[in-house]
Amino acid sequence: MMFLLVIGLLVISTYMHTTESCCCMPEKFELHEYVEDIFTWPSAMIQTGYANISFDLEVKKSVFFFYDVKLNGKDVPTPTYLFDHSSGFLYVYDLRSKYCKKMPIGRMNPVCVPANQSTDTTHLGAAKEMLSVKTYQSTAGNQTTSTTVTKEKCYLISSELNDSEYPTSLRKQFYGTTLGIKDMSVFKIPAICKKIFWNTQEIPEVSRRVFHPFYL
């Protein structure tokens, strides 16, 4: 009980309902992500995983290296996703199994929180270590989305999506954000992907929301 009281004292919230312009991440950044996807219908299922993400709006490329992905506690092989908007293709590949799939994609957009959402301003921590954050919340149909970012720079902290029609919850935590791209070779297209033609076969991991990195 004492622990819960201390946590409560460290979180100070004031609620505002306002209309604000879009809040966007920088054009070039790298970060880490933890994903937790919980389904309770038609059967209980929980999927978790981590990702190292590099995003560069200038060169129109982003890449997502997933690892330690588990479904109900069991390991799930997960490929790497390379979005090359400069050429108009998405590459989904696994170097270990020499697997690659290629499909066309549209234009690249910045990572932004949509405007016209209710805003909850919160202060985390205490004294000199206090951090001001904003949580944007919106509802579309049966889905409610909540995204928390730093107030000053709009750096992603977490996001959550809940569906009232289908008992599901998608939670994401973002950490270790750095500006710029440390090694541009992360955007290099593997040799195994240069030998294939694109096909229109649907890639379930892309069309579903399960591991979309920025579901805002």
Residue 176 forms part of a structural domain: yes
Q: What is the full DSSP assignment across 12-37?
A: EEEEE------EE--SEEEEEEEEEE
pLDDT at 112: 85
The two structure tokens encoding residue 68: 């330690």
Peptide bond into 42 cis (omega under 30): yes
Backbone phi and psi for residue 184, each to the nearest 5 degrees, phi listed first: -65, -15
Higher pLDDT: 149 or 17? It is 149
- Over pLDDT 70: what percentage of the chain? 78
Task: Indicate whether 212 belongs to any domain.
Answer: no
pTM of the shown model? 0.77
Q: Per-residue pLDDT for 2 more than 70? A: no
Q: Is residue 108 part of a domain?
A: yes
**Number of domains, the chain:** 1
Does any domain span residue 213?
no
Question: What's the gap between Cα 148 and its chain centre?
Answer: 12
Question: By residue range, what is the domain housing residue 22?
Answer: 2-207
Mean pLDDT, the chain, rounded, equals 78
Q: Is residue 167 part of a domain?
A: yes
How does pLDDT run across 24-54, given as a tens digit for each residue? 899 999 999 999 988 877 778 899 999 999 9
Cα angle 154-91-32, degrees, rounded to a multiple of 5: 30
| Contact residues for 44 (Cβ-Cβ < 8 A; gap 6+) | none
Tell me the mean pLDDT in the region 115-126: 72
Q: Which helix (H) or strand (E) holds 196?
A: none
Residue 214 in any domain: the answer is no
Query: Quick check: is 215 in a domain?
Result: no
Q: What is the DSSP string of 63-109?
A: EEEEEEEEETTEE----EEEEETTTTEEEEEETTTTEEEEEE-----
- Look at 68-72, 140-144, 153-157 and tell me which has the smallest mean pLDDT: 140-144
Residue 138 lies in a domain: yes
Which CATH number is 114's domain given? 2.50.20.10
Of 10-24, 57-71, 115-129, 135-149, which has the strongest mean pLDDT? 57-71
